[in-house]
Chains A and B, each alone.
Chain A
Amino acid sequence: MELFHQILPQVQKPARYTGGEWNAVNKDWDEAVLKVAFCFPDVYEVGMSWLGLQIIYGIVNRRAGILMERVFAPWVDMEEKMRESGLALFALESRRPVCDFDVCAFTLQYEMSYSNILNMLDLSGIPLKSEQRNEEHPLVIAGGPCAFNPEPLADIIDLFVIGEGEEAINDFLDLCLEAKRRKLGRKDFLLKAACIQGFYVPSLYCVSYRADGAVQKISPLEENIPEKITKRYVQDLDRVFYPDRPVVPTTSVVHDRIMVEIMRGCSRGCRFCQAGIIYRPVREKKPEKILEQASKLVKNTGYEEISLASLSTSDYSRVQEVARSLLDQHSGSGVGVSLPSLRADNFSLELAQEVQRVRRSSLTFAPEAGTQRLRDVINKGITGDDLLETAGAAFKKGWHAIKLYFMIGLPTETKEDLDGIVMLAKSVLALGREAGVPRGRLRVTVSVSSFVPKAQTPFQWEPQATQDELKKKQAYLAERLRQRGLVYNYHDPGMSFMEAVFARGDRRLGAVLLKAFEVGCKFDGWSEQFHWDNWQKAFKLAGVDPASYAYRRFKHDVSLPWGHIDTGVCGEFLKDEHRRALAGITTGDCRAGACPGCGVCSAFEIRPVYAGG
């Protein structure tokens, strides 16, 4: 490892590559019959902030005879040194090359990380396309939210796991062990895997296309292989494995704190939100369970902060009680509690004020749209009055900065909706002045992203607004949001366009990914690394028109490229939600008692789980 110590002092943040953190698991290489590399297609600080990694790492490593080690995408400076000196991509724990493992398991958290998957395979000396790999190469699998439209990666990945991983990963490991015992070949292994719920082997399905280029049909190539791949889910969050000895990074990462998941799923039904569909139904953990897990985590990690993680933390039935108990138990040893993803209402505000030991200077709210009409379209159950009342109260209580998140390019958006964003922002600013926040400190940040239609949502049929439109809208807002105390941020429309292409793409995009890798695309989620021109080159070389993907409007009666992936939410519900959206009709919160009829409970014979209180 001489080479390692020669290279590391020459790169930024070398602690990204060393391993050796508290709770990292170093299993004996030779004693493990099965070796799995967990591959996160982004840098260490991003990957280590993701709870799913800790869950999967914990589950695999507690099994005898199996080891899991972590692999992250090396930042560009490190990659350069590695390629220069012929150092192959390695796992942090044993520093062994990735190609020595039996399995490479990637997580798909965002579309803009796809180019990194190819780059990581290449750095490992593993052929990029599934069909080019043989028994000597690791099996390349993937899971995570983007696997709900796996098609753009169908040529690359051998096996996708759709849905929640806690139980599925064990099924996968069992099958791997059986395959080793019985000396099953790759082909036979994949055939067997494809019969397990939630396991999708893209090479065992064929796609036919219509004359206009749209997908006609996706059908299994072999008998016994299911036509639809139904997601995996965990029935009882209180009983499923939760990592109480997570790896504690020694260098600061994005989310550098204890994360206790208090609830999975969200009952609100925002129509643009993919997480709101794929994690249905809502399952809350019992307060006792949360407290027990938090205590173990404090003891085992030494962290100074506990974050109550979920898609919408103030919706958890007993959030106040849980937060108070945690403070009672742990504030004495300098441990605080934080509440991410708060709703813009008074309850949340009071909760934040009560709980947060270290007052954060800013509060974040996500009204998403500027007018009530458009908020009804997207089913964002928050009113302008709610927001203004909460913002006013926040300023009076001593906050002096508020962040507002909006989207532009939403279906049915007009100029009035943009004006609505401006009005809301200015009203919030005015409230700050009224409340007497000093001029120099008063800040209202307006963060505007571009709507990306996502697979499996009510808006999956909608096109993305064109880049020209988005740019015009951004300029329109920029002109009107110039005022002392207002800060306006917006996203690169080119990046949002790429996201849209892959979010609703099909397997013909595999060729584009290969070309994109060849022309050097990587870290596309990092604005300084994203190169629009390189991507255009890749599309041209692959003979694919990206606009036909991003701007495509699907009819309700045509096949969707991800139509064979089943979230449990029925297609009719999504269509109905789409129609209601366009008519401006809202749909109630499933938590409130009126079942909106998404179908997930009957599909899986489960019920939402609320902790009561």
Chain B
Amino acid sequence: MPRYRILYTKVGPARYISHLDLLRTFERAARRAGLPLAFTRGFNPHPKIAFAAPLGVGIAGEAEYTDLELDVAMPETEVFRTLSGKLPRGIGLINVKMVPDKAPSLMAAVERATYRAEAKLARQLSAEEINNAINVFMEMPEITVERKNKSGKIKKHDIRPGIFSMSARLNNSTIIIEADLKTGSSGNVRLEEALVAFVKNSRLPIRGEFILYRTGIYSAEEKGKFGDK
């Protein structure tokens, strides 16, 4: 069945839509658009919609991916045109591409993701201080964080191998951190835990909470965004 890979933003109010609710949101938007959604067979059919790595509630997504299967093939431009006017505020279509039948699922292909985090500083810092803090953090051989597993036990994990790169810059009193993190079923690093570890290590005077953005999702072999090949 024809499969379409949809590149979109999930910003504004939509950043608070949970992963589960996002599925319903796309299903309803597709129905409003009159797209012939493909459904699974069986007792309780559900639409064939799949996402790349789940995005945490509250993190804005600037380049997110969804695969959507239709019963009938339509031109990519037509899917784009009909769907784009039917999504709730904050979900904006960037691109729609048909993917070959045998292409791996989004979930299986995702390898890493890039992020941006912005926060206010309690006092003015120099670019040098900030770069130093990043360098010290990235030179740590091991960065252990604690995670609760399903049975509620706290386990230690080393996230350092999953932090591919991290940088920081200043915009007046705002610090902007950019990170490239391992994403997927193994070795996944959550942006929030990387930030907590960084702030703890650097003792930077952060005021309030970070505002978070995921800026891209990438597969291993291509070193590029899914939609770009």
Contact = CB atoms under 8 A, between A and B. Distances in A.
B31 A302 contact: yes
Given A9-B57, A250-B21, A334 B31 contact: yes
B30 A302 contact: yes
A20 B92 CA distance: 13
A542 to B, nearest CB: 40
Given A14-B16, A22-B88, A334-B31, A250 B25 contact: yes
Given A302-B30, A334-B45, A10 B209 contact: yes
Contact of A334 (B20, B47, B57, B87): B47
A6 B87 CA distance: 25
B100 interface: no
B21 A6 contact: no
Contact of A20 (B13, B28, B30): B13
A9 B209 contact: yes
B57 A14 contact: yes
Interface size class of B (residues with CB under 8 A): 20 to 34
B89 A20 contact: yes
A302 B39 contact: no
Contact of B208 (A6, A18, A358): A6
A6 B27 contact: no
Contacts of A302: 27-32, 86
A239 B17 CA distance: 37
B18 A20 contact: no
Interface in A297-315: 298-304
Interface string B43-81: 111010000000001100000000000000000000000
B24 interface: yes
Contacts of A334: 31, 37, 39, 45, 47
A602 B30 CA distance: 50
A11 to B, nearest CB: 10
Contacts of B21: 15, 250-252
A9 B58 CA distance: 6
Interface-central residue, B13, B57, B58, by most chain A CB under 10 Å: B13
Contacts of B43: 358-359
Contacts of B87: 22
B89 to A, nearest CB: 4
Contacts of B212: 9
Interface in A344-363: 358-359
A209 to B, nearest CB: 51
Interface-central residue, A6, A10, A358, by most chain B CB under 10 Å: A6
Contacts of B29: 22, 302
Nearest to B90: A20
Nearest to A7: B209
A358 B12 contact: no
A86 B131 CA distance: 35
A22 B58 contact: no
A8 interface: yes
A303 B28 contact: yes
B85 to A, nearest CB: 11
B28 A301 contact: yes
A21 interface: yes
Looking at chain B's contact residues, the main secondary structure is mixed
Nearest to B120: A2
Interface string A1-35: 00001101110001101111110100000000000
A255 to B, nearest CB: 14
B211 interface: yes
A75 B201 CA distance: 35
Nearest to B38: A334
Interface in A509-554: none
A89 interface: no
B88 A20 contact: yes
A248 B28 contact: yes
B177 interface: no
Given A6-B208, A250-B25, A334-B31, A14 B88 contact: no
Given A5-B211, A6-B209, A22 B16 contact: no
Interface string B164-178: 000000000000000
Contacts of A24: 89
Interface-central residue, A5, A17, A298, by most chain B CB under 10 Å: A5
A304 B29 CA distance: 11
Interface-central residue, A17, A24, A334, by most chain B CB under 10 Å: A334
Contacts of B209: 6, 9-10
A333 interface: yes
Nearest to B88: A22
A298 B32 CA distance: 8
Interface-central residue, A18, A251, A302, A335, by most chain B CB under 10 Å: A302
A15 B16 contact: yes
Interface in A94-143: none
B41 to A, nearest CB: 12
Contacts of A250: 13-14, 17, 21, 25, 88
Interface string B1-25: 0000000000011101110110011
Interface string B194-209: 0000000000000011
A299 B16 contact: no
Given A6-B208, A9-B209, A250-B17, 7 more contacts: A15-B57, A20-B13, A21-B88, A22-B28, A22-B86, A303-B28, A334-B45
23 contacts: A5-B211, A8-B16, A8-B58, A9-B58, A9-B209, A9-B212, A15-B17, A18-B16, A19-B13, A22-B86, A24-B89, A250-B21, A251-B17, A252-B21, A252-B24, A298-B31, A301-B32, A302-B27, A302-B28, A304-B27, A334-B31, A358-B44, A359-B43
- The list of the 6 closest CB pairs from A to B, nearest first, reads A20-B13, A302-B28, A18-B13, A9-B58, A20-B89, A302-B31
